[in-house]
Amino acid sequence: MNEGHAKMNDTSGTMPDAVPVTLTEAAARAVQARAKREGKEGQTLRLFVMGGGCSGVTYRIDFDTEGAQGTDFAFSQHGITIAIDPKSLEFLRGSVLDYKVDLMSQRFVWSNPNAKSSCGCGESFGV
């Protein structure tokens, strides 16, 4: 897939070229390093949300050996294939996933315009 090109993985066909989540270059480097460490190079990066956490919905990032499935929204950024299920897409649309390094920590950081509230650690949010 072309950089930034997005496609539904079902018979509904091609989606608009705008990607629903932006992965920064720093986040892409962190994902690639993690994939290499865990022996998961080339696997699809799955972004999703789950109920729970101190604010109601928790961000999840994982590697998916099966790749995009059924009605997943799949796209590529910085050489990484990303898949998001339709339910999670509604919560994540317009978000930016970054990776921050400071004196005290290294972590993925979400900037989500859909979040009405979030917890102090940034791992969950409310809508």
Bridge partner residues of 97 (DSSP):
23, 110
Residue ranges and CATH numbers for the domains of the chain are 6-122 (2.60.300.12)
Q: Alpha-carbon distance 54 to 22, whole Å?
A: 25
pLDDT in tens, 13-29: 334 457 899 999 999 99
- pLDDT score recorded for residue 97: 96
How many other C-beta atoms can be found within 10 angstroms of the C-beta atom of residue 1? 11
Q: Alpha-carbon distance 79 to 77, whole Å?
A: 5
Which segments of 38-68 does DSSP mark as H helices, in order?
none
Q: Alpha-carbon distance 12 to 126, whole Å?
A: 30
Q: If you average pLDDT over residues 34-40, what whole number do you get?
A: 96
30 vs 57, higher pLDDT:
30
User: What dihedral do alpha carbons 72, 57, 61, 31 form, nearest 10°?
Assistant: 120
- pLDDT score recorded for residue 64: 95
How many other C-beta atoms can be found within 10 angstroms of the C-beta atom of residue 37? 9
- pLDDT score recorded for residue 59: 87
- pLDDT score recorded for residue 53: 57
Q: If you average pLDDT over residues 53-73, what whole number do you get?
A: 86
Q: If you average pLDDT over residues 37-41, what whole number do you get?
A: 96
pLDDT in tens, 100-118: 998 888 999 999 888 765 6
Contact 8, 79 (CB under 8 A): no
